Amino acid sequence: MPESNEFHLHIHEGATPSAVRAAVEAYHAGQGKTTTAVPALPKTDMTVEERVALAERAYRESAGNMKPLLEFLAANPDRWIPFTEASAALGFDSQRSMPGLLGSFGLRSNHRYGGKWPFETSQHDDRWHMRMDAGVAEAIRSLRDE
């Protein structure tokens, strides 16, 4: 059966323009043979102001590798970043480093922030990704530059 030249893109409610653009670019880069999925953004019960306040607090209270992770995500706003890419950017030499870092942050989040995080995680294409929205990223960049 001959290959079709049709291209269908299903955009989920809440997808940012940059996420949609990334999906189209991934399609074209792979000559139409990509399976890259852009997950729908989860609904949040926090306002933008609450997310920014949480991010600022988490950044100020972070030490070790968590602060550089937040800075890396802030430098790449609205982009789903594979854990492996973030691990390489932070110089981790073990596949267990990122899960360990996020596990530690999860404990802190549960005890200090009501279980809320200043960024999102999602699994797609059998890999875990993380993403920080642009408003939160701007707050982190502002704190970093102080």
Q: Is residue 25 scored above 80 in pLDDT?
A: no
34-62 pLDDT, tens digit each:
344 444 444 457 888 999 999 999 999 99
Q: Is residue 93 scored above 80 in pLDDT?
A: yes
- Global pTM reads 0.69
Strands (E), the chain: 81-82, 120-124, 127-131
Question: What's the token pair of residue 13?
Answer: 């409610």
- Whose CA is closest to 69, among 51, 55, 49? 55
* Per-residue pLDDT at 58: 96
The C-alpha torsion from 128 through 17 and 20 to 138, rounded to 10°, is -20
Q: Cα–Cα distance between 62 and 58 in angstroms, integer?
A: 6
β-pairing verdict for 127-131 and 120-124? antiparallel
Percent of residues, the chain, with pLDDT higher than 90: 58
The CATH number of domain 42-144 is 2.20.130 = no
Mean pLDDT of the residues in the chain: 80
Exposed/middle/buried for 2, CB within 10 Å: 0-12, 13-18, 19+?
Answer: exposed
* Per-residue pLDDT at 16: 55
Q: b/e for 68-104, b at 16 or more Cβ within 10 A? A: bbbbbbbebbbbbbebebbbebbebeeeeebeebbee
114-141 pLDDT, tens digit each:
999 999 999 888 899 999 999 999 999 9
Average pLDDT over residues 16-26: 56
Average pLDDT over residues 104-121: 93
Average pLDDT over residues 107-119: 93
Q: Is residue 21 scored above 90 in pLDDT?
A: no
| Longest Cα separation, the chain | 60
Under 8 Å between Cβ of 121 and 129? yes
73-82 pLDDT, tens digit each:
999 999 999 9
Q: Is residue 31 scored above 50 in pLDDT?
A: no
- Taking the domains of the chain in order of start, what are their residue ranges? 1-41, 42-144
Indicate left, alpha or beta for 90 from its phi (over 0: left) and psi (-120 to 50: alpha): alpha
Q: Which residues pair with 131 in a beta bridge?
A: 120
